[in-house]
Amino acid sequence: MSISDMSLKRNLAGNVIGAAFLALFGAIYELFSHGVYSYFMIYAFGFPLMLGVLPYSLMLIKGRRPGRSFVNLWNSGIAVLGTGCAFYGVLEIYGTTNSLSVIYPVAGGALLAAGAVCEALRPGRRGRTAE
């Protein structure tokens, strides 16, 4: 089952809002970090921007409608990667490390890969365009 245009636009808007939130969060957090900064915190907004806004915009332009499982897994992967990047930035600004922070890129990558596989294996995927 593919998603509708309205659902695709909602996902696009959600990723724009997520990117804006992470950019604002990083800016405010570093404002109060006494001159210490982290590139992870600065560029955390890039995950929803590059992995969410760009693909969903291209899908809208080309008239492609992804399946629901793809959208759910893909958005979860973007959320995990963005959250993990912000978390790692907070730890870096604080001056500490955590061995469990390696879970974020692994889990995020696994969710993105699972979403891509679900979309590739979806029956009737070829030739689906807006009607």
Would you mind telling me the total number of residues written for the chain in this entry? 131
Tokens 């070829």: give the residue.
126
User: What was the pLDDT predicted at 131?
Assistant: 42
Domain boundaries, the chain: 5-120
User: What was the pLDDT predicted at 98?
Assistant: 86
87's tokens: 């978390």
CA distance 86 to 63: 33
pTM of the model: 0.87
User: What was the pLDDT predicted at 43?
Assistant: 93
CA distance 121 to 24: 37
Mean pLDDT by 10 residues, the chain (131 residues): 81 95 92 88 94 94 90 96 94 88 95 95 64 42
